[in-house]
Amino acid sequence: MKKKIVVTGGTGYIGSHTSVELIEEGYDVVIIDNLYNSEAVVVDGIEKITGVRPFLEVFDLCDRNRTDLFFKNNKDVAAIIHFAAFKAVGESVSKPLEYYRNNLDSLMNLLVAMQTNGISNMVFSSSCTVYGQPAKLPVTEDAPFQTALSPYGNTKQIGEEIIRDTTFSTEKIKAISLRYFNPIGAHPSALIGELPRGVPENLVPYITQTAIGLRDELRVFGTDYDTPDGSCIRDYLHVSDLAKAHVAAVKRLIDKKNRKNYEVFNLGTGKGVSVLEAIHSFEKVSGVKLKYKIKGRRQGDIVKIWADPSLANRELGWETVYSLDDCMKSAWEWEKQIRKHN
């Protein structure tokens, strides 16, 4: 019997890539998504890649009765991977209550439904944003949380704390939080990828949209930082690499290989890359000269952060395989693919 995995937010960017990897590893995937920030056609892309169409349940996890009902009818769920959340940092500053309510109500509703229906395993989508600017680099999982710079970041910190306290109070629920660094790129088939609504906040979609002519120029937010070339440093990893870590985490929980009821892993390459290096990698693999201008610093930006991924390497048996150039190439292929139809 195939093990049933619920992927909340499964039509989103990371959720769709994870659904692909789960199906390819022989899991039965059920997606729950309210399609607030994604499209149902993503399921077609997943089916084209894998030959299997995951089941899509459209509802809002903030609806407690609907959530309870779903899990009452699906007590055989082996694990939940919880991606569904609002994720725009800037928007969260102007709409804090919407962010707290959406991201935390949905999480608590899921945890209650797990308790009520005897579902044991959860993998939570967390973020390196919980570290703020770490004092020590590369950053390890035991680095302290720092005051979040946005309500969005705060929902990830509070979300982790809610899960930690819940797993502490009951042996019946086990969880793994995965702290992502900067996921970029798209599936090598170019059948699924990131679909940012409106003007992208993140670097790579902004680069590809500028290169395709949708944006006039990229603004580089500051080259006067204390870094080798003056621009900020991040740990960019390919979304398909990231997706595979979720399969490993689910397997660890199902096989009861976890060492504690609640575990946390950094997911990154371990390598820091500057904004200018990212631009140059894009230009090299795409053959497109990117129009960009050096601008002032963006408020709230972390100067430099990259992961120590050795715990995930060791415990999950996971490491990244795609290079920065591979990431940029796949992001570019995806951008060209979506613009063909629009």
Beta strands in the chain (DSSP E): 4-8, 28-33, 55-58, 77-82, 121-127, 174-180, 182-184, 218-221, 233-234, 236-238, 262-267, 273-274, 292-295
Q: Which stretch binds ligand WQD (CB under 6 A): 1-9, 23-31, 97-105, 200-208?
A: 200-208
Q: Which residue has the tokens 């979040």?
A: 148
Using an 8 Å Cβ cutoff, are 262 and 313 in contact? no
**How far is residue 320's CA from residue 84's CA, in Å, rounded to a whole number?**
24
Among 105, 221, 261, 311, binds ligand WQD (CB under 6 A): 221
Tell me which of 232, 248, 273, 276 binds ligand WQD, using CB under 6 A.
232
Q: Does 234 bind ligand WQD (CB under 6 A)?
A: yes
- Partnered with residue 31 across adjacent β-strands are 7, 56
Whichever of 120 and 155 has its CB closer to ligand WQD, that residue is 155
Print the binding letters for residues 109-128 with ligand WQD: x by CB under 6 A, - otherwise: ------------------x-
Number of residues that bind ligand WQD (CB under 6 A): 18
Distance CA 200, CA 193 (A): 14
Q: Nearest distance from residue 69's CB to ligand WQD, in Å?
A: 30
Catalytic residue (one of 152, 225, 236, 262): 152
d(CA 340, CA 342): 6
Restricted to residues 288-317, the positions that interact with ligand WQD (CB under 6 A) are 298, 301
Q: Among 335, 327, 81, 89, which residue's Cα sits nearest to residue 194?
A: 335
Nearer to ligand WQD, 45 or 132 (CB): 132
Q: Is 145 near ligand WQD (CB under 6 A)?
A: no
How far apart are the C-alpha atoms of 184 and 150, rounded to whole Å? 21
The residue (of 219 and 336) whose beta carbon lies closer to ligand WQD is: 219
The nearest distance, CB 232 to ligand WQD, in angstroms, is 3
Shortest Cβ 34–ligand WQD spacing (Å): 19
Q: Which of 35, 52, 89, 311 binds ligand WQD (CB under 6 A)?
A: 89
Residues 6+ apart with CB under 8 A from 31: 6, 7, 8, 10, 11, 15, 19, 43, 54, 55, 56, 57
- Using CB under 6 A as the binding rule, the residues of this chain from 154 to 193 that contact ligand WQD are 182
Which one of 77-85, 216-224, 249-257, 282-290 is the stretch in contact with ligand WQD (CB under 6 A)?
216-224
H or E element in which residue 162 lies: helix 151-169
Assess whether 236 carries a catalytic annotation.
Answer: no
What gap in Å lies between CA 220 and CA 232, rounded to an integer?
Answer: 9
Do residues 241 and 188 lie in contact, with contact meaning Cβ atoms separated by under 8 Å? no
Please, what is the minimum distance in Å from the beta carbon of residue 141 to ligand WQD?
16
Packing angle of the helix pair 239-254, 13-24 (nearest 10 deg): 60
Residues 25-64 that bind ligand WQD (CB under 6 A): none
In the complex, the residues that contact ligand WQD under the rule CB under 6 A are: 89, 127, 129, 153, 182, 201-203, 206, 218-221, 232, 234, 275, 298, 301
Q: Which residues participate in catalysis according to the annotation?
A: 152
